Structure 1
Amino acid sequence: MTAKAPCSSAHPDRPLTVGLVVGEESGDFLGGALMASLKAKLGTGLRFCGSGGHRMQAEGLTSVFDIADTSVMGLTAVLQRLPLIIKRVHQTVDALVEADPDVIVIIDSPDFTHNVAKRVRRKAPHIPIVGYVSPSVWVWRPGRARKMRAYVDALLALLPFEPAVHARLGGPATHYVGHPLIEHLGDLRPAPGERSDRDDPHRVLVVLPGSRGSEIERLLPVFGETVARVAARVPDLEVLLPAVPHLVSRIRQETASWPVKPTILEGEAAKNEAFRRAHAALAASGTVTLQLAIAGVPMAVAYKVDWFFRRLKDLNRIIPIAQVTSMVLPNIILGRNVIPEYLDEQVTPEALAARLETLLTDTEERRSQVDAFGDLDAIMRLPESQSQSEAAARVVIDVLIRAGAVQA
Structure 2
Amino acid sequence: MSASVKVGLVVGEESGDFLGSALMASLKDTLGDRVAFCGTGGQGMQSQGLTSVFDIGDTSVMGITAVLQRLPLIIKRVHQTVDALVAENPDVVVIIDSPDFTHNVAKRLRKKAAHIPIIGYVSPSVWVWRPGRARKMTAYVDELLALLPFEPAVHKRLGGPRTHYVGHPLIERLDALRPGEGERSSLQEPHRVLVVLPGSRGSEIERLLPVFGEAVAKLGARHADLEVLLPAVSHLRERIAEGTKDWAVQPLILDGEAAKHKAFRRAHAALAASGTVTLQLAISGVPMAVAYKVDWFFRRLKDLNRIFPIVQATSMVLPNIILGRNVIPEYLDEQVTADALAQRVEGLLSDTAERRDQIATFQALDDIMKLPDGQHQSQAAARVVLDVLHRQGKL
- Sort the TM-score into its range (normalised by shorter chain): over 0.9
- Residue number among 275, 280, 293 corresponding to 1:286 in the alignment: 275
Aligned equivalent of 1:252: 241
Aligned equivalent of 2:356: 367
Distance 1:259 1:324 in 2: 36
1:14 is displaced (CA, Å) by: 5.1
Distance 1:94 1:222 in 2: 47
Tell whether 2:204 aligns with 1:224.
no
Tell whether 2:367 aligns with 1:378.
yes
Unaligned runs of 5+ in 2: none
Distance 2:136 2:362 in 1: 34
Distance 1:110 1:78 in 2: 12
Unaligned runs of 5+ in 1: 1-11
Query: Which of 1 and 2 has higher RCO (CA within 8 Å, sep 6+)?
Result: 1
- Provide Cα deviations, 1:285-323, integer angstroms capped at 9, x if missing partner: 000000000000000000100001000100111111122
Tell whether 2:303 aligns with 1:303.
no
- Residue number among 317, 322, 326 corresponding to 1:337 in the alignment: 326
- Provide Cα deviations, 1:338-380, integer angstroms capped at 9, x if missing partner: 0000000000000000000000111000000000000111100
1:15 is displaced (CA, Å) by: 3.2
Distance 2:233 2:46 in 1: 21
Distance 1:345 1:138 in 2: 24
Tell whether 2:269 aligns with 1:275.
no
What secondary structure, in the 3-state scheme, does the structure 2 residue paired with 1:126 have?
Answer: coil
Aligned equivalent of 1:127: 116
Number of paired residues? Answer: 395
User: Do 2:273 and 2:292's aligned partners in 1 also have CA atoms closer than 8 Å?
Assistant: yes
Distance 2:88 2:34 in 1: 16
- Residue number among 177, 180, 187 corresponding to 1:198 in the alignment: 187
Tell whether 2:54 aligns with 1:65.
yes
Structure 1 residues 246 and 13: alpha-carbon distance in aligned structure 2, compared to 1, 3 A threshold: closer
Distance 2:3 2:225 in 1: 65
Distance 2:190 2:129 in 1: 43
What secondary structure, in the 3-state scheme, does the structure 1 residue paired with 2:37 have?
Answer: strand
- Residue number among 100, 103, 108 corresponding to 2:89 in the alignment: 100
Aligned equivalent of 2:382: 393
1:224 is displaced (CA, Å) by: 0.7
User: Do 2:3 and 2:34's aligned partners in 1 also have CA atoms closer than 8 Å?
Assistant: no
Aligned equivalent of 2:30: 41
Structure 1 segments (4+ residues) deviating >6 Å:
none
Could you tell me which amino acid in structure 1 is paired with residue 153 of structure 2? A
Distance 2:360 2:3 in 1: 54
Q: Describe how 1:132-147 pairs up with structure 2 within 5 A.
A: 132-147=121-136
Aligned equivalent of 2:155: 166
- Provide Cα deviations, 1:61-115, integer angstroms capped at 9, x if missing partner: 1111111111111111111000000011001111111000011000001111000
Could you tell me which amino acid in structure 2 is paired with residue 292 of structure 1? L
Aligned equivalent of 1:177: 166
User: Do 2:93 and 2:119's aligned partners in 1 also have CA atoms closer than 8 Å?
Assistant: yes
Q: Percent identity?
A: 77
Could you tell me which amino acid in structure 1 is paired with residue 279 of structure 2? L
